[in-house]
Amino acid sequence: MHAPTETVLLRLDDISLSFKGIKAITSISFEVKAGDICGLIGPNGAGKSSLLNVINGVYQPQSGSIRYAGQTRRRMRAHQAAEGGIARTFQNIALFKGMSVLDNVLTGRNLKRRSSWLEQILRLGRAPREEDAHRLHAEQVIAFLQIHPWRHVLVGTLPYGLQKRVELARALASEPTLLLLDEPMAGMNAEEKAQMSQFIRDINREYGTTVVLIEHDIGVVMGLCDHVVVLDYGRKIGDGTPQQVRANPEVIAAYLGS
């Protein structure tokens, strides 16, 4: 997937979200340039995950608007987001436990499917050719993330780090324009973290995918991201290049300092 013509891929305007009156996000606005890796940081409960959920339509904000790939919406619906090329991984892995690695990755291709289910079960018409094409693409993603040794293993039985990678593969299989990663390196050791950030960098370079990621490890974020947004208690307190953010006194006070 190549980045669309306009340089700003995603713009959030004054987004607010609350559950049963409890404010999770308060009038947050920021931009993500096409081709950037953008980091969302902030203490737990700062509303980072909620923000991702707003971007890909899992939650519906009470106010504000989302401009994505040239279209402005009051709110994003999950399938609109998916069809618009937004893919996502979750904080606590949301893989399909009962399925093999390959099948999980293949589910990521479902929006690219053209043949009807009838053709598929009768194995008629374009279905078999299409199945091959999707398998090939899935295999390329699997090779890219180096999970081919576990191709036919049930994901439920894989170690945590690998599951994270499989989930990334599933997201990547849909050839996303925008990739939302919710703590892709949570609970990993330094080595795994390095590997994972290498993968993310490669994805961003090879496929030109724009990435928005949440990460607690400041070192990783500063090393990986072109652009960092800092949240605290549902508010935006910092926004800019890693250097600018590191310099921002409010940020230091609220987050880096502590």
Which residue of 25, 64, 174, 239 would you call a contact of another protein, by CB under 8 A?
A: 174
Nearest to 32 by CA among 221, 256, 213, 224: 213
- State both tokens at 151: 């191709």
Q: Are strands 37-41 and 63-68 parallel, antiparallel or unpaired?
A: unpaired
Q: Which of 11, 23, 33, 113 binds another protein (CB under 8 A)?
A: 113
Contacts to another protein from residues 192-211, by CB under 8 A: 201-202, 205-206
Among positions 77-96, residues that touch another protein (CB under 8 A) are 78-79, 81-83, 87-88, 90-91, 94-96
> Which is nearer to another protein, 74 or 129 (by Cβ)?
129
103 touches another protein (CB under 8 A): yes
Give the integer Cα–Cα distance in Å for 109 and 67.
25
Instruction: Please identify, using beta-carbon distances, which residue of 122 and 253 lies nearer to another protein.
Output: 122
CB of 238 to another protein, least distance (A): 26
Minimum CB–partner distance for residue 212 and another protein (Å): 14
30 binds another protein (CB under 8 A): no
Among 110, 157, 241, 243, binds another protein (CB under 8 A): 110
Q: Which two tokens stand for residue 244?
A: 């600018």
Residue 173 near residue 141 (C-beta atoms within 8 A)? yes
Is there binding between residue 76 and another protein (CB under 8 A)?
A: no
63 vs 107, which CB is nearer to another protein?
A: 107
* CA 181 to chain CA centroid, nearest Å: 3
140 binds another protein (CB under 8 A): yes
For position 157 contacting another protein by CB under 8 A, the verdict is: no
Using DSSP bridges, classify how beta strands 86-89 and 178-182 pair: parallel, antiparallel or unpaired: parallel
56 contributes a contact to another protein by CB under 8 A: yes
For another protein, the closer CB: 87 or 231: 87
Q: Which residues bind another protein (CB under 8 A)?
A: 19-20, 49, 53, 56, 58, 78-79, 81-83, 87-88, 90-91, 94-99, 102-103, 106-108, 110-111, 113, 117, 120-123, 127-128, 131-132, 135-136, 139-140, 142-144, 148-149, 151, 170-171, 174, 201-202, 205-206
